[in-house]
Amino acid sequence: MFNELIKEIDNSFDAKKSLLEQFDLIDKSVKKISSSIKNGKKIFFCGNGGSAADAQHLAAELLVRLRPRVNRKSIPSISLAMDTSAITACANDYSFEEIFSRPLSSLGANGDILIAITTSGKSKNILKALKVAKKKNILTIGFLGCDGGQAKKNCDIPIIVKSTVTARIQETHIFLGHFIIEKVEDTLIKKNII
> Which pLDDT does position 154 carry in this prediction?
98
> Which pLDDT does position 26 carry in this prediction?
98
SS3 167: helix
Of 113, 53, 103, 105, whose CA–CA distance to 77 is shortest?
113
- Contacts of residues 87-96 at CB distance under 8 Å and 24 or more positions apart, as own/partner, are 96/124, 96/125
Which residues pair with residue 141 across a beta bridge? 115, 157
pLDDT in tens, the chain (194 residues): 999 999 999 999 999 999 999 999 999 999 999 999 999 999 999 999 999 999 999 999 999 999 999 999 999 999 999 999 999 999 999 999 999 999 999 999 999 999 999 999 999 999 999 999 999 999 999 999 999 999 999 999 999 999 999 999 999 999 999 999 999 999 999 999 98
For residue 24, count other CB atoms closer than 10 A to its CB.
Answer: 9
Say how far apart CA 44 and CA 81 lie, in whole Å: 10
- Residue-range domain boundaries for the chain: 2-190
Sequence-ordered strand ranges (E) for the chain: 43-47, 77-79, 113-118, 139-145, 157-161
Sequence-distant (6+) residues with CB within 8 A of 6 are none
Is residue 44 within 8 A of residue 138, CB to CB? The reply is yes
> Which pLDDT does position 153 carry in this prediction?
97
CATH number given to 2-190: 3.40.50.10490
Say how far apart CA 95 and CA 92 lie, in whole Å: 6
Say how far apart CA 86 and CA 155 lie, in whole Å: 25
Of 123, 55, 125, 118, whose CA–CA distance to 90 is shortest?
125
> Which pLDDT does position 76 carry in this prediction?
97
> Which pLDDT does position 25 carry in this prediction?
98
